[in-house]
Amino acid sequence: MKPASRERRKAARPGEIAAAALALFSEQGFAATRMQDVAARAGIAKGTLYLYFPTKEELFFAVVREALLPRLAAVEAWVAGQVGPAPEVLRGLLVQAPGMGRGGVAAIPRLVLSEAGRNRAIARFYAEEVVARGMRVVAGILERGMARGEFRAVDAPAMAPVVFAPVLLAMLWRDTIGRHSRGPLDPAAMLAAHAENLLRGLTP
């Protein structure tokens, strides 16, 4: 193997490890997944895995950074680039939200909810790195709409979780009951209905 190829392979390894970990966490849960299982799935020695990720929590953080945060960053960029009416921006955000859960990413909220009660590090990381950013995006749309007279006056930080809660439900459904049953919840249809009700309630 040429040196350049070896360096490229080494640079890609953290992402490959994170992908293997996401698959195993999704299949077995965080607590039941062993570091040696992840190493085997990634095709590396256990000692090599610990060189990149000293703890399983650090590995989970890497999973979130690799799989979820780029999608969140794309949403932030999309919202920032919209110049149209705030109601349509909010509707567009909700309509495209189900796509954030594709590729195994829908497993992440389930994993967090199952572990956060007993793992402070995971709870704090997810709250700061994911939830807070998502709430700021939604609150920013609400504040933009109020400033333009497109929304009635509301407490934007308090309303943001109300806007986002069905998105979380859609992701959890997709990764749990929705994996084995088609009904009775259609996440895309639910979020479209949520957008209609929400926008009616925000109308000045």
Determine the structural domain holding residue 103 and report its residue range: 68-202
Cα distance between residue 82 and residue 153, in whole Å: 21
Does 118 share its domain with 25?
A: no
- List Cβ neighbours of 121 (8 Å cut-off, separation of 6 or more): 57
Does 146 share its domain with 84?
A: yes
Q: What is the pTM of this model?
A: 0.85
Q: Domain holding 187: CATH number?
A: 1.10.357.10
What pLDDT shows up at residue 182?
A: 73
Could you give the residue ranges of the DSSP H alpha helices within the chain? Answer: 3-28, 35-42, 46-52, 56-67, 69-80, 86-96, 107-115, 120-126, 132-147, 156-175, 187-202
Does 138 share its domain with 177?
A: yes
- Whether 61 maps to a domain, the answer reads no
Among 12, 32, 56, the domain boundary falls at: 56
Residues composing the chain: 204
CA dihedral 77, 83, 86, 92 (to 10 degrees): -50
CB 107 within 8 A of CB 22: yes
Query: Roughly what angle, to the nearest 10 degrees, separates helices 69-80 and 56-67?
Result: 30
Does 50 share its domain with 117?
A: no
Does 182 share its domain with 121?
A: yes
Q: Domain holding 50: CATH number?
A: 1.10.10.60
Please state the domain count of the chain. Answer: 2
Question: Which parts of the chain have pLDDT scores under 70?
Answer: 1-12, 98-101, 103
Does 72 share its domain with 173?
A: yes
**Residue (of 58, 9, 59, 68) closest to 39 by Cα position:** 59
- Whether 155 maps to a domain, the answer reads yes
- List Cβ neighbours of 28 (8 Å cut-off, separation of 6 or more): 37
Burial class (CB in 10 A: 0-12, 13-18, 19+), 128: exposed
What pLDDT shows up at residue 98?
A: 65
What pLDDT shows up at residue 52?
A: 96
What pLDDT shows up at residue 88?
A: 96
Does 24 share its domain with 119?
A: no
Does 52 share its domain with 76?
A: no
What pLDDT shows up at residue 96?
A: 80
Does 40 share its domain with 129?
A: no
Does 51 share its domain with 74?
A: no
Does 109 share its domain with 138?
A: yes
